[in-house]
Structures are given as C-alpha cells and as structure tokens.
Structure 1
Amino acid sequence: MFASRLQRRKLLIASGATLAIVGLLTACSSGTPEPGSSDNTNTAESTAGGSVDGGGGTGAGGKVRIGFSGPAADHGWLGAINTAAFDAAKKLSDVDLIVAEGTNDASLQISQVETFINDKVDAIVLLPTDGAALTDVAVKAMHAGIPVINVDREFSSTFAARSTVLGDNYGMGVSAGTYICTELKGKSDAVVAEIAGIDSLPLTKDRSQGFEDALKDCGLKVNNRVAADFTVQGGEAATSQLLAAAPKIDAIWNHDDDQGIGVNAAIEAANRNEFFMVGGAGSKNAMEDIKSGKGVLKATVIYPSTQAADGIALARLIVKGLPFGELVTQGVPNRIVLDAPVVTKDNVDTYIGAAFAS
C-alpha cells in the first residue's frame, strides 16, 4: 500500500518537473559571457551580454537585464547553484546578467536588491540568505514593476515574488524513506536513524516530516535522530554522537552530502558497517561512493542545484511575455517544485555528469 501511494505521488512530481525542464530548455539559446567577481560587496556588477537574437527584450539593445543575488558559496551545493546560474546566462543571448557578490549578511543582500531596483533592472532572481528578512525588499521590487523570481528559500509573503522555484524538501524525505522501506523489505523491528541539517530551518523540518511519513507507511519510525549544520565538521560531530548512542542501526538517512563527508569520517572512525546509508542533495563524491559499492552509502536523493539557473530562464520568459514551453496555459507558473529522485548504483551514470563537487 505504501509503495503504490508514494510511487503515484513521485510520478506526478516527476511529470511536472519534466514539463519544467522542457519549458526552460526551449527558451535557451547561446552567447552571454560568464560574470566576473565584484571587489565591492555593496555594488552589483554587470556582465556584457552576447549578440541580440532579435527578441523583444527590454533595455538597451533589446537585452533583458536580470539582477542575481544569492548567499556566499561556502557550501558545495551553493557553489553549484552559482555556476549553473552563470552557465544559464551564457546560453541566453539576449540576457544581460548583473551579479551581486554572494553574502550571508541579510542586511547587505537587502542593499544589493535595492541597488537592482534603483538601476531599474528588468527582473531579479533572488536566493535569499533568509527568506523572511528579504521579503520586504522583494515586495518593494514587485511594487516597482520588477518581477522577482524567488529561489530555494521562500519569502514570507506571496506578494514578494512573481514566480518561485523550489527543490522538494518534503519529497526528499519521502524519497529517502521509501527507498529505506523497500530495502528493509518489511523488517518491522529495523532501527532507523536520521542525521538532519539545521533544525531551525523550515527545509529541515520539511525533510524530516516527509521521511517520517514515508517510514510510517511501512510500519517503521525514526529511532535515533541528531542534527548537524550542513558542514563537514558538524556532520562528523553529530554522527559520532549518534553512533555512541545507538549500538545497532539498520539504516541511516543523512540530509546533506556536503556534511556527509564528516558523516562518513565518523562512521569509518567508529568502524561501523552493519547499516546502509542514504544521502541527500546529490554531490559528485557521494555518487562516486555509490558507484564504487565499497562503503555504507547506497543511495542519495537529488536536491537540484539548477534552481537559480531555472530562475534566470523564467525571468527572461516573464519579461518577454513568452510562453512556458509546451504548456497550453499562457505565461509562467507562479510556483515550480522540482523532483527529488533517488540515485542508486543502477542509475548513477544518468546523474553523475551533472553532480556538484563537495
């Protein structure tokens, strides 16, 4: 019963994600050089675009001027977010991408968005360091007639964004739990552990809830749980604590492959291998471990690092008034949630080429 219901849900999500990918790829062409880095964190930096493709863009020369601001790339996944965004801009010949230096300071990011507003950009793609803290300035941009595309961390008001692109945090938990249920094959007394990220973040709560719900459907529960902080050091410390408290474990879900480097270090130091582990996010090193089949890591759940890149493609469509791929409806959806597939040894070659480095 649990497998069929969850499979139906995953198929629906996957179908939506496929439509999103088709729409975004249809919008792509080629041309814009990669942005450089800024020496002044308070100043947005413009990057020259490629040749105009004759589209109906706004701004000088028909260009669509898109401001992009995100957190500092102090984490493998965040670095991949930026790289994918820059690569997306290269492929859109009528886009002029204006990049603000990454920061984890909400006040500084607010000032960057205000600079975009004053510069009258055509659209803003924003991965906020704190969704609630950036809500007011995003609303200000919307009131100024500048569409905002919210990425990954949601604002606290629906008026703050024209469109939102999200990974499926709840779906990650469902995917991880479903995989563990399948692998344990009805072992009702199995001991399941969870190594979460930062517990205060809504995304962590969503991941844990999805995991709990999926396990419940097959009669399992989380027996041991710790939270880390999405860092290698935090992953190692939290896992050492977990292993000391649980002398026997059958399966572990670790929310994040970056902190998973520390998780693996703690597991090796404790000389524990009686369990299998599922990772989260989809890093290249995690997929290489899965492919080798030598360690406890048997799978990882994708959390797409393409969200900002998708946001840039959407911003262009919105400004130009273009349709969203092959959808019958006019315009761009207000909310897009990407899929959370499970990568195993059987399908790792499909995903490893696009994986990010931790």
Structure 2
Amino acid sequence: MKKQKLFAMVCVAVLAFSTVGCGDSDSPDKGKNEQAAESSSGQTEEKADGEITIAWSCADLSNQFQVTLTDSIKEAVSDLGAKYLEGDGANDASKQVSQVENFITQGADLIMISPADSDACAPAVTAANEAGIPIMIVNCKIANQENATCYVGSDDTQAGEMEMEYIAEQIGGKGNIVVLQGLDGRDATVKRTEGINSVLENYPDIKILAMQPADWSVELGMSTVENWLQTMEFDAVVSQNDEMALGAVQALKANGKENILVIGVDGIEDGLKAVKTGDMIATVLQDAPSIAKKAGEVAEKILAGETVEPEYIVPFQVIDKNNIDEYYTE
C-alpha cells in the first residue's frame, strides 16, 4: 500500500510538471522540449512498473554510527517501497562525488548523502542539480547546503554545547580538559568545536590543555590520549564521538587514570555499554533511527512534488547513569 501510494504521488507530480513545462510549438527551445518530453516519457514508462529509486552515499561504513544510520536509511527506503542504491564513501570525498554521478546515471529519483567532507563533497550537489535530481543532505551539512534540496539531521553545535556543559558541571566549573576532535573538514567537527568553545566562554577557570583531531577513530583516540598522559594532567576528556572516547578509555585504563572523566557523542552501542559500566560518564545521543525515519518522511514529500523545509533537526539527548537503562540493556 505504501509503495502504491508513493508511486501514485510521483505520477501526479510528473504529470503536473509536464503540463507546466509545455511550450509553444514555435518556441526556439522546441528541440529541447521534445528531448525533455522523450526523457520524461521514458522515465514515466519505467515508473509504470512501480519502481522508484532512492540512492544513499554514506560517509564511512567503518564508523559505527554510520553503520546504524545506513541500516536505518535502508529500512526507511524499504518502507517507502522504493528501490535502494548504496555507496560507502570510506571517508573519501572524491569517491562520494563519483558515487553520486553513478546514481544519476542509474536513474535515481532522489539522492541522499552524508558527506565525508563538507567542502570536497560540494560538487555532488552541483551534479545532482544539473541532472534535475533532488539531493538530501543527511547528518552533516555540506558547504553549498543552500543548493541542496534540504538537510535532515542534528545540530552539531548543540552536541558540543551539551557535552561541554555536562563536563563543566561534573568538574565544578574549574579544571583542565583535553578535546578529541573528528576529521578535519567535517561539518560535525567544526560545529561541535564551536559548541565546546561557546560554553567555555562561561567557564574561565576551565582550561583546554590540548585539542587535536583523532579522525573519529578508536585507535587514534587511544594513541592521542596516551601521548597527552605523558606530558600533562587533566580532569576530563571531551570527545566529539563515542569511538574516540572508547579509545581514550582504553588509554586511561592502561595508565591507571580511570578517575579521569570521559564523554562522547553518538550513543552507539559500545558507548552506551561504557556508560552503563561507568567507563564513560556520559554520551550525547545522536538518534540515527529517528534521523533516518525523518529522512524517509521528507523523501516521500519530495517525490510527491511537495515543498519541503530547508532543514529538519532531530535533537540530541544526554545519556548518563540516570537514564542509561532507558537506552541500553545487557
């Protein structure tokens, strides 16, 4: 039923577009209009079989959050009854741009992308625009966001604010901290850093001793914190995702520094487990299933030719010992 509904809505949108686009037979663009009509006719015949195609390019399937997001996106597309195409960017922006170009060639009706790099992935939006295919940015905003159809995801500035405010309260508004950043160029890295810094303006007695990218990686998170432990004393590790936070936990345990507080972002399963066991004091949940569900709802509107908002924000949620049982059970 959902599939039939989506197909019917798309057909209405295509018919409306065709009617509006009709020009006078003496128009100098007659040839272009005829070509467009042929293209639309071919597309309509293909859709007559009920096939709507939605393509998804994720930033990096080696990242736990991206895996959860991708699984949830696939489920949302399935719920719409659409054909699903998938590409793993593997943290390579040029690869993602190529994937989008391939999706266009394969006749995608809608493209979704979680950009590995907000600047370097921008040509993907341009390519989709030139092909007349709507493109939705998911999870991390892109440099030319204003040219995309819309954004569905969270406000990463809020994530930085929430984790920093939480730690500030836990250490009594004074002390030394270190910050593990994500990949350079990612919108999430920039915005979460901005959020952290904005909160610290209200806490002059909290000092950042070190701030360094660890590329969302457990291994780099661990080695970076191990290096910091050799030269400085600090009260907390503020990590911009859970995987780096888990690496920090490993480094602290290996060096007998388990009294140092660790907070992360995303609320992945291993992060939630670490909160449950007390290895992490908290995580800021980025709700991948809810983001994907909203993306599916917005995709249905786009394909039906409806007007959509520029952005749809799914809020973050702090998870600590007080509410962990609502989100994680062993």
Q: Same fold (TM over 0.5)?
A: yes
Task: Give, in angstroms, the shift of residue 117 of structure 1.
Answer: 2.1
The residue that corresponds to 1:303 in the other structure is 286
The 1:127/1:274 distance shift into structure 2, 3 A limit, reads closer
CA distance in structure 2 between the partners assigned to 1:317 and 1:91 by the alignment:
14
**TM-superposition CA deviations, 1:105-163 (whole Å, max 9, x none):** 43333232223223332211122333323323322322332111012333322453111
CA distance in structure 2 between the partners assigned to 1:208 and 1:134 by the alignment:
21
Task: Give, in angstroms, the shift of residue 308 of structure 1.
Answer: 4.8
Matches within 5 A, 1:6-17: none
The residue that corresponds to 1:80 in the other structure is 68
CA distance in structure 2 between the partners assigned to 1:116 and 1:301 by the alignment:
33
Are the aligned partners of 1:86 and 1:309 in contact in 2 as well (CA < 8 Å)?
no
Task: Give, in angstroms, the shift of residue 184 of structure 1.
Answer: 2.9
Supply the AA of the counterpart residue of 2:300.
Answer: R
Matches within 5 A, 1:18-33: none
Task: Give, in angstroms, the shift of residue 176 of structure 1.
Answer: 0.9
- The reply to whether residue 127 of structure 1 matches residue 114 of structure 2 is yes
SS of structure 2 residue aligned to 1:236: helix
Are the aligned partners of 2:57 and 2:113 in contact in 1 as well (CA < 8 Å)?
yes
Q: 2:52 aligns with which of 38, 41, 64?
A: 64
The 1:114/1:105 distance shift into structure 2, 3 A limit, reads same
CA distance in structure 2 between the partners assigned to 1:71 and 1:208 by the alignment:
20
SS of structure 1 residue aligned to 2:327: helix
CA distance in structure 2 between the partners assigned to 1:218 and 1:105 by the alignment:
37
The 1:195/1:148 distance shift into structure 2, 3 A limit, reads same
Supply the AA of the counterpart residue of 2:10.
Answer: G
The 1:202/1:126 distance shift into structure 2, 3 A limit, reads closer
SS of structure 1 residue aligned to 2:312: strand
SS of structure 2 residue aligned to 1:191: strand
Are the aligned partners of 1:226 and 1:238 in contact in 2 as well (CA < 8 Å)?
no
Are the aligned partners of 2:162 and 2:284 in contact in 1 as well (CA < 8 Å)?
yes
Supply the AA of the counterpart residue of 1:299.
Answer: A
Are the aligned partners of 1:65 and 1:123 in contact in 2 as well (CA < 8 Å)?
yes
Matches within 5 A, 1:90-239: 90-93=78-81, 95-186=82-173, 188=174, 190-227=175-212, 228-239=214-225
Moved more, 129-138 or 303-312: 303-312
SS of structure 2 residue aligned to 1:345: coil
Moved more, 56-65 or 159-168: 56-65
CA distance in structure 1 between the partners assigned to 2:98 and 2:65 by the alignment:
24
| Number of equivalenced pairs | 291
Are the aligned partners of 2:125 and 2:144 in contact in 1 as well (CA < 8 Å)?
no
SS of structure 2 residue aligned to 1:217: coil
SS of structure 2 residue aligned to 1:111: helix
SS of structure 2 residue aligned to 1:131: coil
CA distance in structure 1 between the partners assigned to 2:236 and 2:152 by the alignment:
31
The residue that corresponds to 2:18 in the other structure is none
Task: Give, in angstroms, the shift of residue 217 of structure 1.
Answer: 1.7
CA RMSD across the alignment: 2.5
The 1:287/1:108 distance shift into structure 2, 3 A limit, reads closer
Are the aligned partners of 2:53 and 2:109 in contact in 1 as well (CA < 8 Å)?
yes
Task: Give, in angstroms, the shift of residue 234 of structure 1.
Answer: 0.4
Are the aligned partners of 2:113 and 2:136 in contact in 1 as well (CA < 8 Å)?
yes
The 1:157/1:351 distance shift into structure 2, 3 A limit, reads same
Are the aligned partners of 1:67 and 1:121 in contact in 2 as well (CA < 8 Å)?
yes
Highest CA radius of gyration, 1 or 2?
Answer: 2
Segments of structure 2 that go 5 or more residues without pairing to the other structure are: 12-46
CA distance in structure 1 between the partners assigned to 2:60 and 2:320 by the alignment:
30
CA distance in structure 1 between the partners assigned to 2:55 and 2:186 by the alignment:
26
Supply the AA of the counterpart residue of 1:91.
Answer: D
Give the percent of matched residue pairs that are identical in Structure 1 and Structure 2. 24
- The reply to whether residue 318 of structure 1 matches residue 294 of structure 2 is no
Q: TM-score, normalised by structure 2?
A: 0.78
Task: Give, in angstroms, the shift of residue 200 of structure 1.
Answer: 4.8
**TM-superposition CA deviations, 1:67-120 (whole Å, max 9, x none):** 222234111112112111112122223x22222355444333323222322333
CA distance in structure 2 between the partners assigned to 1:229 and 1:159 by the alignment:
27
Task: Give, in angstroms, the shift of residue 298 of structure 1.
Answer: 1.1
The residue that corresponds to 2:36 in the other structure is none
SS of structure 2 residue aligned to 1:121: coil
The 1:203/1:71 distance shift into structure 2, 3 A limit, reads closer
Supply the AA of the counterpart residue of 1:118.
Answer: T
**Runs of 4+ with deviation above 4 angstroms:** none
- The reply to whether residue 52 of structure 1 matches residue 30 of structure 2 is no
